[in-house]
Chain A
Amino acid sequence: MRYTFPDIYNESMQVFFMKIQFNNKLEKQLILGTLKLQKFFIYRVIQRTLLLIFPFALFGSFVKIIQTVVIGKEGFLTDVFPDLSNDFIYRQIDNIATGLYNLSLGWISVIAIFGAAKYTAKHFNRDDQLAGITVVSALLIIDYTYSKVQTFSFHPQILGMRGLLLAIILGISIGWIFKKTSRPVPDYVKLGGAPSVIERSFISAKPIIVSLLIAMLFSTLINVTYYAEAPGNYINTLASEYTSKSPLGQLLKTFIFSIYTLIMSFFGWSGTYSSAGTEKMDTLSTVNLNYALNKHTAWNAPNPFTSSALYHAFATFGGTGAVLGLIIAILIVAKDEDFQTVARWAIIPSLFNISSGLMTGIPILFNIIFLIPFILAPIANMTMAALAIQLHLMPPSVYPVPIGTPGPLIAFIGTNGSWQALIFSILAIIISVYIYIPFVKMAIKVKDLDNLSLEEGAN
């Protein structure tokens, strides 16, 4: 592994350019584009922040397996092996798992916002420790629930993975406020004196006050909009309530909401479709289920292109973005040790469609190279599934599937054990692996040229 020092950075890059061979124009443009993007400090801050939260995300994803798949009331293992459940012990494990989850993946945004503000402030040579602490308070103020029932509580959605985008934007903004409203921290080591805590605090007093006041403002806004039904709710309602009679309309609707979900997930936000199973109360799926229960078959269900038949059954292998394909692709082609380690650790959570470790460890989030396969692989799988259903090669998935069912088995269970569906699921894995392979190679090339995880990483 080569260590590139910042000062000889450009020089070494030249050397690497000689060695790198591009297979085609797209690859060249994508790699050069990414390298350009990586020069922006915001991009570097984001990538660094993601690496910071990776261990917590990975730990949380393992706890989540226990929580939803093993213990969860509708979880896969509890359903498939009901004899395992023993009330008392289960409840104890459940309590422990809930606590561990809520304070790892459950508040991942708090960790992320600390990193984002710290790295931004450091970049501008401001007090990074105080910036990090300030921004944690700011996020918690924003997230504070104005509730009469629970006196000290927060909206859990914003603290978890879903709040990542907000956390990163807010962290960078507050880091920037530190730049604007305070002067650089004197270099005490150079000056030879011990830092005065009081002096440090006063240098950063102004940005701290400004940040907390802004947080207060956002907090009020969020609480007002939360009670007045947040806009996300409208989209969710649209996705589950809006029903189109024509199959083409349904197909279009499912694809549009899938792409929306994928793009949103790529930016650490939440989309309409959850990756944790088909728990949404989709009207069309209910109609399908009733049909299947009456006729005792899933074939010719009235709504063949619902989200559960296409998106949930074929596009979520390994979690949002069909990342099981990415893991296999890395295991097959990646020569990079880091990628391999992350992929190996992510195997087990990904089998249950929990991808947060992989998303932050590679990272996939905000990583422009993976944006294309992250959307393309699920869409390709869905297109294949839609074609197969249309040509009557496979019935649509209409039966309920427990939460955390391994991706390739969702269609199999959802069709009440149709072998055709299983074969198409295997095909879907192969397709997504093939889509991810070239991008994994590109990501490695980019990493060789400009490794974000190395420099300044010690801080």
Chain B
Amino acid sequence: MRTRTLRKNKNFKYLIAMLLFFIILGIPSYIWTRKNVTTLAGRYNSPMTPIIMIPGSSASANRFDDLVKTVNNKYGEHHSLLKLTVHTDDSITYSGKIRANDTQPFFVVGFQNNEDGYSNIKKQARWFNIAFNAIKKRYRFNSFNALGHSNGGLIWTMFLENDFNDSNLSINQLLTVGTPYNFEEKNTSNHTQMLNDLIKKRDNIPHNMTYYSIAGTQLYSDDGIVPLGSVDAGKYIYEGQAKHYTLITLTGNKAQHSDMIASNQFITIFHQYIIGNGVNNPNSPDSKQSAIASQ
């Protein structure tokens, strides 16, 4: 019995040390959590950086299925895909699933009314905002990347100018493909009503976003549908507003407006700028992939 009490005394100091440890860490934790909750508003601490994509007119939310499949196969990645379709009555239907622990899932937002035309695009931008808020509510992330194909890029621009105003959320990269900022107008000095409207609100474009615009050309002038000048008109909106604005011209095989997102060139650019982001290179300082994956 005497040895028992002796041992107990010996371990007593460990128990006291443990208690002290909790008290010592507890006080700064208390201060930190108070501060964190008020300033960071809680969107902090999410490893998820989703890629949100909007297809062009007359395409559905299934437009990027092949793209996702190709990227997953080609790069040996496992991005999951959730497709949202916003109906004309503002309701949303979902298909697909986000895998838990997927740090870079894809969201595709399509519209029941996917007609072309300025008035329709304005409506679609409003519907996109509904879908975006739904995503924001369900999934916790503090930054995202974006892709817009054709008019999808117009919807992104309108969304960023009118609705996207969230200090807790940032858009890192935006990539658009064949986005007609000036509709079918070849001459950049003739501004359509839409372009004028977009230029007017250009101050709202997030200043820390990097923007890549891809224009396809066949025979120097257009991608078969959208004139090079119309894509190029995006500079009047983004130059000087976004952190960087890059215009890329894509020519050759599959440079046609609708084919572009299947071309190898596009997929490489897409992967490099939109998915890349440190994940590709596990040694990059902003990638914690290797550490997290091995738990």
Residue positions of A touching B, CB distance < 8 A: 67-68, 72-74, 79-81, 87, 91, 94, 98, 101-102, 106, 145, 147-149, 156-157, 159-160, 227, 229, 233, 236-237, 239-241, 274, 276, 279-281, 283, 285-287, 289-290, 292-293, 328, 331-332, 335, 340, 344, 347, 351, 399-402, 405-406, 408-409, 412-413, 416-417, 422
**24 residue pairs from A and B, CB less than 8 Å apart:** A72-B288, A73-B288, A79-B36, A80-B29, A80-B32, A102-B290, A106-B294, A156-B294, A157-B294, A160-B294, A160-B295, A233-B100, A241-B100, A281-B98, A290-B137, A293-B42, A332-B15, A347-B17, A399-B42, A400-B45, A406-B25, A409-B29, A412-B29, A417-B34
Distance in Å: Cβ of A275 to nearest Cβ of chain B = 9
Task: Name the residue of chain A whose CB is nearest to the CB of B283.
Answer: A95
A399 touches B37 (CB 8 A): yes
CA gap between A253 and B37 in the complex, in Å = 28
B residues whose Cβ falls under 8 Å from a Cβ of A: 3-4, 7-8, 11, 14-15, 17-18, 21-22, 25-26, 28-30, 32-34, 36-37, 41-42, 44-48, 74-76, 78, 97-101, 137-140, 285, 288, 290-295
Dominant SS at the A interface? helix
In the complex, the 8 A-B pairs of residues with the closest C-beta atoms, listed nearest first: A240-B100, A236-B100, A331-B11, A156-B294, A400-B45, A413-B33, A80-B32, A147-B76
B138 near A416: Cβ-Cβ < 8 Å: no
Q: Out of B36, B100, B285, which one reaches A281, CB within 8 Å?
A: B100
Q: How far is the CB of B42 from chain A (nearest CB, A)?
A: 5
Residue of B nearest to A328 (CB): B15
Give A231 Cβ to nearest chain B Cβ, in Å: 12
Bound complex: CA of A156 vs CA of B99, how far in Å?
18
Within 8 Å by CB of B42, from A87, A227, A400, lies A400
Given A72-B291, A286-B139, A408-B22, residue A233 in contact with residue B99 (CB < 8 A): yes
For the complex formed, measure the closest distance between the CB of A145 and the CB atoms of chain B, giving whole angstroms: 8
* CA distance in complex: A241, B288 (Å): 25
Chain B contacts of A290 at CB under 8 A?
Answer: 137
Other than A68-B291, A239-B100, A331-B14, give 6 A-B pairs with Cβ distance below 8 A: A72-B291, A80-B25, A236-B101, A237-B100, A274-B295, A286-B140
Please indicate the chain A residues that have their CB under 8 angstroms from the CB of B138 in the complex.
283, 286-287
- Measured between beta carbons, the chain B residues less than 8 angstroms from A94 are 285
Check A236 against B99 for contact (C-beta < 8 Å). yes
Residue of A nearest to B140 (CB): A286
* Chain A contacts for B3, CB-based, 8 A: 335
CB distance from B293 to the nearest CB of A (A): 5
Report the bound CA distance from A351 to B19 in whole Å: 10
A-chain residues with CB within 8 Å of residue B36 when the two chains form the complex: 79, 399-400
Residues from chain A with Cβ under 8 Å of B290 in the complex: 98, 102, 156
Cβ contact of B100, chosen from A280, A293, A328, A417, cutoff 8 A: A280
Q: Which chain A residues border B42 with CB–CB below 8 Å?
A: 289, 292-293, 399-400
Are B33 and A416 in contact (CB-based, < 8 A)?
yes
Residue from A147, A287, A347, A417 within 8 A of B14 (CB atoms):
A347
Task: State the CA gap A42–B47 with chains docked (Å).
Answer: 41
**Contacting pair B100 A229 (CB below 8 A):** no
Complex: A408 Cα to B37 Cα, angstroms:
19
